[in-house]
């Protein structure tokens, strides 16, 4: 029987390139995803507002770009390094847009330039995590739309500025700002509001934080504007300013601050014509706080004003001044409550009741 000898000679086979770049920008279904590396990345996003979104990223390890179509969601994972993310809404948003910016470690910057929202729905989340981060958001006119912005600044000393300097008309706007630990600064500007619901919630958390909110336009039609700030640990400063702000017949403006622990300070000022409803409530916390509200009511106002300044545990400095030009308000209920201790310093006009002083 003859045997057949077979030999096998191994050979190298050339495979397709499967390398993955450290930075990436690509479309996945209706999502546009941009991924940074551990270095300093620059990410630019241009949104046409109709589903077409262009993005490019340049990092220490390379660059990438993508043009997406029928996009509903844009997600950025910046990862480590001192990153910069620029989001520009080139034209008015006319559809749903989910925007998630995860900045990661490092001293990061997020710039949101939202040209306008018309019959659209914007849901945006900005997470700073760790590092001295800076978030800046500028909004154009908002009409017949829903806008939700959530900013979580995370650890270290951060800064967030949100500006609604154009008109908000027939819309719902929710703004949630979480300052996180350490010393943070939060600034909010609000322009004219018509037939809209505005809800601002600011959580100062730990550290010595600063929160400034400025109302620069009238509140008209059937509108409800609510500003709420919760102080946590640290010596915090909250300032609300609303000068020359008319509150229309069916409109409500509420400005409230709540202290927890630390030597906190809250300053609220408003001046204008009141034909609707104004609510002002300042509440102290565990330590000695300085709380002040100065309200100036223009003549021919026929609305309702409810105001309270309340101390709590330690001796506080409490001020509530209400100045009326012609005493034409429909109703006025205002009081200062010194709280637990009776060694508070109370400053109040004659139309304000005082308790536990």
Question: Which candidate, 302, 297, 305, places its Cα nearest to that of 335?
Answer: 305
- What letter does residue 222 receive in the DSSP assignment? S
Residue 129: φ, ψ to 5°: 60, -110
Question: Which candidate, 157, 153, 140, places its Cα nearest to that of 47?
Answer: 140
- What letter does residue 21 receive in the DSSP assignment? -
Q: What SS3 class is residue 297?
A: strand
- What pLDDT sits at residue 312? 87
pLDDT < 70: residue spans in the chain: 1-21, 341-342
pTM of this prediction? 0.91
d(CA 286, CA 231): 11
Burial of 349 (0-12, 13-18, 19+ CB in 10 A): middle
Answer for the pair 81, 36: CB distance below 8 angstroms, yes or no. yes
308: β partners: 281, 335
Question: Which candidate, 329, 293, 326, 288, places its Cα nearest to that of 309?
Answer: 293
- What pLDDT sits at residue 356? 87
- What pLDDT sits at residue 158? 87
- What pLDDT sits at residue 342? 67
Sign of the torsion formed by the C-alpha atoms of 38, 44, 46 and 52: negative
Q: Torsion angle of alpha carbons 269, 217, 144, 224, nearest 10°?
A: 30
d(CA 133, CA 234): 20
Residues, the chain, total?
A: 357
Question: Which candidate, 71, 109, 108, places its Cα nearest to that of 93?
Answer: 71
d(CA 220, CA 248): 5
Using alpha carbons, list the distances in angstroms from residue 125 to 36, 104, 274, 341: 17, 13, 35, 42
- What pLDDT sits at residue 15? 42
Question: Which candidate, 262, 243, 254, places its Cα nearest to that of 313?
Answer: 262
pLDDT, tens digit (0-9, with 9 covering 90-100), for 78-93: 999 999 999 999 999 9
Tokens coding 319:
């001020």
- What pLDDT sits at residue 6? 47
- What pLDDT sits at residue 76? 98
Give the Cβ contact number of residue 4 at 10 Å: 4
Percent of the chain topping pLDDT 70: 94
Tokens coding 236:
């915090």
Using alpha carbons, list the distances in angstroms from residue 99 to 63, 87, 126: 21, 9, 8
């Amino acid at each position: 029987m003859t045997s057949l000898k077979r030999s096998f000679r191994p050979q190298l086979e050339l495979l397709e390139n499967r390398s993955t770049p450290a930075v990436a920008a690509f479309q996945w279904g209706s999502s546009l995803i941009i991924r940074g590396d551990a270095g300093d990345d620059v990410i630019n996003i241009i949104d046409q507002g109709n589903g077409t979104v262009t993005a490019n990223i340049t990092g220490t390890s390379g660059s990438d770009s993508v043009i997406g179509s029928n996009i509903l969601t844009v997600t950025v994972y910046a990862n480590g390094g001192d990153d910069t993310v620029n989001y520009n809404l080139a034209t008015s948003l006319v559809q749903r847009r989910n925007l998630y910016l995860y900045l990661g470690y490092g001293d990061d910057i997020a710039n949101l330039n939202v040209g306008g929202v018309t019959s659209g729905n914007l849901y945006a989340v900005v997470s700073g995590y760790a590092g001295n981060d800076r978030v800046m958001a500028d909004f154009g006119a908002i009409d017949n739309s829903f806008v939700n912005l959530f900013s979580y600044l995370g650890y270290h000393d951060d800064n967030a500025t949100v500006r609604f300097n154009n008109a908000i008309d027939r819309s719902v706007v929710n703004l949630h700002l979480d300052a996180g630990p350490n010393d943070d600064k939060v600034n909010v500007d609000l322009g004219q509001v018509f037939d809209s619901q505005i809800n601002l919630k600011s959580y100062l958390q730990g550290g010595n934080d600063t929160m400034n909110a400025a109302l620069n336009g009238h509140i008209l039609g059937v509108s409800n504007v609510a500003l709420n700030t919760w102080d946590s640990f640290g010596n915090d400063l909250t300032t609300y300013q609303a000068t020359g702000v008319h509150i229309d017949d069916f409109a409500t403006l509420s400005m409230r601050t709540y202290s927890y622990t630390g030597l906190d300070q809250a300053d609220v000022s408003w001046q204008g014509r009141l034909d609707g409803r104004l609510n002002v409530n300042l509440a102290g916390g565990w330590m000695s706080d300085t709380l002040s509200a100065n309200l100036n009511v223009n003549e021919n106002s026929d609305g309702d004003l409810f105001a309270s300044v309340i101390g709590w545990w330690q001796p506080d400095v409490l001020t509530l001044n209400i100045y009326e030009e012609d005493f034409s308000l429909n109703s006025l209920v205002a009081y200062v409550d010194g709280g637990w201790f009776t060694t508070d310093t109370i400053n109040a006009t004659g139309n304000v009741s005082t308790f536990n002083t």
